[in-house]
């Protein structure tokens, strides 16, 4: 469940879609603090128009 939150953030903030899955494979287990950061990023992205 936590990785599902991280995946879109990496895809959106990364340099390209091809970099996402590679980063995910080496991603360490997410901490509570990282979850909060990811949730905040997702909230900001919802509010911003995508261009």
The pTM score is 0.37
Q: Give the residue-averaged pLDDT of 7-34.
A: 58
3-class secondary structure per residue, the chain: CHHHHHHHHHHHHCCCCCHHHHHHHCCCCCCHHHHHHHHHHHHHHHHCCCC
14 in Cβ contact with 20 (< 8 Å): yes
Residue 16 pLDDT > 50 = no
Residue 39 pLDDT > 80 = yes
Per-residue confidence at 40, pLDDT binned at 50, 70, 90?
very high
The pLDDT assigned to 27 comes to 56
CA atoms of 21 and 7, how far apart (whole Å): 8
Q: Give me the chain's average pLDDT, please.
A: 66
Q: Give the residue-averaged pLDDT of 14-42.
A: 68
């Amino acid at each position: 469940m936590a990785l599902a939150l991280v995946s879109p953030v990496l895809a959106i903030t990364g340099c390209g879609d091809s970099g996402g899955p590679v980063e995910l494979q080496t991603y360490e287990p997410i901490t509570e603090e990282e979850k909060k950061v990811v949730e905040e990023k997702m909230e900001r992205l919802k509010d911003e128009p995508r261009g």
